[in-house]
Amino acid sequence: MTVGTKIQMDNGYLGIQQGVIIDDSGWCPVVRWDTEEVDDDEELGDNFSYFSGEFLPDDWEFTYIKDNGDRK
């Protein structure tokens, strides 16, 4: 995945979460989740496939973050 890729995952008890890849330079991509929490970032590891990850369309509008992961 590359920076700017929009994703959605079913994180079990957390429910459906959406976010955007903000860093792909390390061993795995880092996603910033679209939550009220400031900078809710997470390394994906193999979670994308484990939690039924899906890619969102490029024109998807987040509630709390911009397309680049910055806070609105």
- In a 13 Å sphere around the CA of 28, the CA atoms on its Cβ side amount to 9
62 or 49: which carries more pLDDT confidence?
62
**Ordered DSSP codes for the chain:** --TT-EEEEE-GGG-EEEEEEEE-SSSS-EEEE-SSSTT-EEE-TTHHHHTT-EEPPTTPPPSSB-TTS-B-
Q: Give the pLDDT score at 39.
A: 77
Distance of CA 7 to the CA centre of its chain: 5
Q: Give the pLDDT score at 54.
A: 95
Q: What residue segments make up the domains of the chain, in order of their start?
A: 1-72
Distance CA 72, CA 50 (A): 29
| pLDDT tens by residue, 17-61 | 999 999 999 889 999 999 988 878 999 988 888 888 999 999 999
Q: Give the pLDDT score at 7.
A: 96
Confidence of residue 63 (pLDDT cuts 50, 70, 90): very high
